[in-house]
Amino acid sequence: MGKIKVTKIKSVIKRPEDQKRTMLALGLKKINQSNELEATPAVMGMIKKVSHLIKVEK
């Protein structure tokens, strides 16, 4: 599996609590903050859940 760069592009204000926790689990707290993660099935599921709030690059 490869690495994926995930960047937060939208706020989690007025979002469900589970989406807020997912963003924290991905290591994203501030807008425009990026994190490089291993592309495991668990991480890919989290990315799918909050795909409208993040930008994903290979």
Whole-model pTM? 0.93
Q: Where are the domains of the chain?
A: 3-57
Per-residue pLDDT, 1: 77
Domain 3-57 class in CATH: alpha beta
Q: What is the mean pLDDT of the chain?
A: 97
Per-residue pLDDT averaged across 35-42, rounded?
97
- In our burial notation (b when 16+ CB lie closer than 10 A, e otherwise), range 8-38 reads beeebeeeeeeeeebbeebebeeeeeeeebe
Per-residue pLDDT averaged across 34-43, rounded?
97
Residue 51 has pLDDT above 80, yes or no: yes
Residue pLDDT, tens place only, 6-32: 999 999 999 999 999 999 999 999 999
